[in-house]
Chains A and B, each alone.
Chain A
Amino acid sequence: MNTLDLLGLDDLHSDEERQIRDVVRRLVDQRVRPFVRQWYEHGHAPIRELANEFGNIGLLGMHLEGYGCAGASAVSYGLACMELEAADSGVRSLVSVQGSLAMYAIWRYGSEEQKQQWLPGMAKGQYIGCFGLTEPDHGSDPASMSTRAYRNGDDWVLHGGKMWITNAPVADLAVVWARTEEGIRGFIVPMGTPGVSVREIDNKLSLRASSTGEIGLDDVRLPYDAVLPSIKGLKGPLSCLTEARYGIIWGSLGAARDCLETAIDYARTRTQFGRPIGGFQLTQAKLADMSLEFFKGYLLALHIGRQEHRTPEMVSAGKLNNVREALAIARTCRTILGANGISGEYPVLRHANNLESVLTYEGTSEIHQLVIGAKLTGLSAFS
């Protein structure tokens, strides 16, 4: 990112952070970038192979301690997300859901037995996890979820359904959140359990290199120890979302960076009116403004990453700003590429389309505005 490092942002990182970033960049350059266009076009990515490759270097659950996880810093994790999403938001989503949602939920709220059973295999990429919170009729308002869990003897029985679940069609296990008599609780559901069904959601015009599904839960009987013992209430899933949102703060900038690098390269070589379009003032103004937003977003991400105690408001501010700006950058870069901008030959519109999903998942921009608004005014717009 030398062209884009006018501020010397690289110097803000430790050697370890830079090395981790460089390894992810190399892996992505060799194993993702050459193929991602085809995956996107066909709406199918080799999720399991990718999970294995990522697991080998320690990408999955990299910011968690123990149980085969690398225990890297939050900033290193952020840089990894950035490199992954510079290739494709869908590929980064795979890692976010595995590490920050499914693994984090078990790592933070699971019993010792649950951690031993699942985390080492998930860190290696042998088991793929997904995270079931959103439902067909309950998105931004998960507190109203319809999925229920009730006791039957020692067992638990789950009934309901989850929607827009990344990794679900390929997953070995799901962390499913359901309403119980004692409030919302999390359950580890092996996908082979009778009563669990998955339908792959196709026809997506965004995140096509990611696998998304709908999970049906038809009186799914689980043993007593399937429940995550250490958490009751909505703050369980919300704390997991805060983890994943943090990765998106960095990841979205990766998509923006790839668009900017593409647009700069294009503007330097594309000739109109007898000169490179990068020499025109309007193009330079766009590039300069976009690079400023990129720099600001980077500093914001780094600031939030360096916090010992990241509050949900900090993460909301970061996600709101960086995804919104990344999407604006992707769209503006598309204008610099003109008609070529809509071609799959260039990554720009693919990134823009992906970022439409990123803008909505893990808390929509509007929800993040309301989180910040509530903190500023002391008045909650939803409760």
Chain B
Amino acid sequence: MKIVVLVKQVPDSGAERNLRAEDNTVDRASANNVINEMDEYALEEALRIQEAHGGSTVTVLTMGPERATESIRKALSMGPDGAVHVLDDALSGTDALGTSKVLAAALKRLEPDLVLCGAESTDARGQVLPHMLAERLGVAALTGARKLTVDGSQLTIERQTEEGYEVVTAATPAIVSVWDTINEPRYPSFKGIMAAKKKPVETLTLADLGVSADEAGWAGALTTVASHAKRPPRSAGVKVTDDGEGGTKLVEFLVSEKFV
């Protein structure tokens, strides 16, 4: 089985992140950039499928600037066979639709049986990319998986929902997005780290993919961020004084906040 895992480099969600004043985009230059956490779970799942099904290959696909190579090498140190890096100055400012166009072009070239990705990235948190890619590629979208079973060309997921889960099946080729409930990603082994730098990383430009520059980047963006503001500081909260009704008030609060 030919598996491609989408890996995005994002600013570390554990540190303070900012949008740039001049163009309302994420400030990536000053951030500590890491692999999108959910993508590590997708990669782990791909590696487990590879280990269980002989003859499978796992390729990492990343779209991003030059410094995304760090994340590609880190991803490769976990064990995949190689990577494709879509790198082009014209990509700056690409929105979700544009990203799906570029990645779909790259995926058409790679012809995977299975595309795995995180259910969302910690920077944009749109959760739309897997659906867009499935639509562009004309393949099934199995999204939000907490479990994935592969039986020949038949894929079955447990789709995580707020109430429980749904069992959804599809045949390959398909795209599966995963949540962090699906597995526990491995630590890269030292052998993996040392082997990663020798693994092939193919760099592709928009021209290589047959996507014109005005379909991506600022030029091709159909959505724009008009403005942004810092979240206001937290308000003082509600104080419940127990004058006999304290218990009732607490329950009312918990219900209103959907805690119970």
Contacts and interface: CB of A to CB of B under 8 A. Distances in A.
Interface of A: 15-16, 19-20, 23, 26-27, 56-59, 62, 70-72, 76
B190 A72 contact: yes
A57 B189 contact: yes
B191 interface: yes
Interface in B186-206: 186-191, 193-194, 197
B101 interface: no
Contact of A16 (B186, B189, B194): B194
A71 B187 contact: no
Contacts of A26: 187
A2 to B, nearest CB: 10
A15 B187 contact: no
Contact of A19 (B186, B188, B191): B188
Chain A contact residues, majority secondary structure: helix
A231 B190 CA distance: 30
Chain B contact residues, majority secondary structure: helix
A70 B187 contact: no
Contacts of B73: 15, 19
B187 A57 contact: yes
Contacts of B77: 19
B190 A62 contact: yes
- 4 nearest A-B pairs in the assembled complex, by CB-CB distance: A58-B190, A70-B190, A58-B189, A57-B187
A23 B194 contact: no
Contacts of B190: 20, 23, 57-59, 62, 70, 72, 76
A71 B190 CA distance: 9
B15 to A, nearest CB: 12
Interface in B167-217: 186-191, 193-194, 197
Contacts of A62: 190
Given A16-B197, A72-B190, 13 more contacts: A19-B74, A19-B77, A19-B188, A20-B190, A23-B187, A26-B187, A57-B188, A57-B190, A59-B190, A70-B190, A70-B191, A70-B194, A71-B194
Contacts of A27: 187
